[in-house]
Structure 1
Amino acid sequence: MAPSSIKSNNQTEPLLSPNPSSSQVEPLTSTTSSAIKALSILRIITGASVLIAPIWTCGIFRLPIPASAGVVVRLVGARDIALGELLLTAEDKSSWTGGRREIKRALWTGIGTDAVDVCSLLVGVATGTLGRVPAALFGGGAALFLGLGAVGLRGL
């Protein structure tokens, strides 16, 4: 038997309030929202172009690839489409947090992949398997994505 000092709770009330009114989250600033939307759209566009036309897209970045390497490049395109879509759909306006946890997860995932891309480019230049111009062009894109991701995270 429970001690008399313990109160019986009404079993129909949830333990945690679904909408804590005291801790409502501020809406995203226009800068944060714009950075997140731009990043997601740029990822989807870049990924789609690499997926559809890998040789042509790599040619824009001054990286000639053989037709046999197109499948590997397409994998990167599919990755960027998935990351862009994940970020684009992470916001949940019906949630009291606005889906900020999911937005942060999507941003951190993108930042992680972009950091690996930059490191891979540096290894390619250091070993002589990648020219400086293509590395700078691809690295500039990765740096842009990293910067937009950081702006998005800063505003959350």
Structure 2
Amino acid sequence: MTASDLRGVDTYRGDRIHVESWHQGYDFADKRVAVIGTDSRTVRIVPELAGIAAFVKVFQCAPRWIFPYAVPGQFTEGPVRQWVVARLARAHLRTQVEDPWLRRQLTPDHPPEATRVLVAGDYYRALQQPNCKLIDWPIATFSPVGVRTSDGVEHHVDAIVFGDARGRDGQYLR
């Protein structure tokens, strides 16, 4: 699925940028930005966007297992490895995110083996900045002014940065 497959995306009148080309000349200063997805590239650019843009909303399809740095090698195989990876990732989340509700939103409900473990040292800190917000309601549709989530809220944005437009279950739209 590509960004053009998402319902209503062609009606959106703001700027559309793919995560791979987000840094190529677009001025995010004083812009309200939606980041669609939490893939390996988007979680790495959110901290920088939060430092530039007026406001950043990160639309998360599913929480991801995140480490602050690359974890060397294989611990072991099977359930023991999953347990170690999950424990380390949860410890990282617990030390980085004070708010229990945000921690809950960021905690995966699937085993580490189900998706790729991501490396993003400043992602959790960025989400806690006053100008950054995690949105975990599913996207219902795009509109001319932004993104409408399934709870009926229309998020007005100046630019949308598209990451991997699939999500864990194959789509962002429900």
Which category of TM-score, normalised to the shorter sequence, fits these structures? under 0.3
Structure with greater proportional helix content: 1
Rg comparison, structure with higher value:
1
TM-score, length of structure 2 as denominator length: 0.22
More strand by share: 2
What is the TM-score normalised by the length of structure 1?
0.24
Q: Which has the higher contact order (CA 8 A, sep 6+)?
A: 2
